[in-house]
């Protein structure tokens, strides 16, 4: 059999996860897991932020648009934030993003909010492994491919504009 005749074997899906982690707690917990030689999935790319309250929803959408299959936000436990109440803002943003995901046809389970103090390295490692397993079950997001032009998007946008103009007209 030639190379062209052999059936193409797909590689097993390995999800790409972006994790925004609080500098004071979760990032330190991931460091503790590493120094304690606790293994967790290598699929996670950690981005350290000073506080999860700093994670703008556009950061999450940007990560997905650039090829991430899931996004984790990990921070201090509620009430223990170094910036007083910023992780409560994160809770609200997380809820808003999950609603937005459902409206966009994206599984809300692709976004996970985790609380981990600096001493909870093993728990954070377990949460990371669980998230990778859950995203693996969902399959690849392939968001970039879903945004390719197919000729109908322009028509859809024009019809939305037309509907908006009709709805906003003041009838005499």
State how beta strands 44-49 and 111-115 pair.
unpaired
Q: Which residues have CB under 8 Å from 16's CB, separation 6+? A: 43, 45, 67, 68, 69, 70
**Whole-number pLDDT of residue 92:** 95
For the chain, which residues make up each domain, given as ranges?
17-168
Q: Which residue has the tokens 């996970």?
A: 112
> pLDDT tens digits for 2-50?
444 444 456 789 999 999 999 999 999 999 999 999 999 999 999 999 9
Lowest-confidence segment of 78-87, 97-106, 145-154 by average pLDDT? 145-154
Select from 3.30.160, 3.30.300, 2.60.40, 3.40.50 the CATH code of 17-168.
3.40.50
Mean per-residue pLDDT of the chain: 87
Q: Residue 152 pLDDT > 60, yes or no?
A: yes
Three-state SS for 77? coil
- DSSP, res 56: -
Per-residue pLDDT band at 164 (split at 50, 70, 90): low
Q: Residue 131 pLDDT > 80, yes or no?
A: yes
Q: Residue 146 pLDDT > 90, yes or no?
A: no
Beta carbons within 10 angstroms of residue 163's beta carbon: 10
Q: Which residue has the tokens 């504009």?
A: 161
**Whole-number pLDDT of residue 156:** 65
| Token couple for 156 | 């859809």
> pLDDT tens digits for 112-124?
999 999 999 999 9
**Whole-number pLDDT of residue 158:** 72
């Amino acid at each position: 059999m030639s190379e062209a005749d052999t059936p193409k074997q797909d590689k097993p899906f390995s999800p790409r996860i972006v994790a925004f982690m609080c500098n004071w707690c979760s990032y330190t917990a991931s460091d503790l897991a590493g120094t304690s030689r606790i293994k967790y999935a290598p699929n996670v790319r950690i981005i350290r932020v000073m506080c999860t309250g700093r994670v703008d929803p556009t950061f999450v959408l940007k990560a997905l648009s650039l090829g991430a299959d899931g996004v984790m936000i990990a921070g201090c436990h509620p009430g223990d934030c170094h910036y007083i109440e910023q992780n409560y803002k994160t809770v609200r943003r997380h809820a808003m993003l999950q609603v937005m995901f459902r409206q966009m046809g994206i599984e809300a389970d692709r976004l996970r909010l985790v609380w981990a103090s600096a001493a909870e390295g093993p728990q954070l490692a377990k949460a990371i492994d669980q998230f990778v397993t859950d995203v693996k079950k969902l399959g690849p997001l392939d968001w970039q491919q879903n945004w390719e032009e197919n000729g109908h998007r322009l028509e859809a946008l024009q019809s939305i504009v037309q509907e908006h103009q009709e709805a906003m007209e003041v009838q005499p």
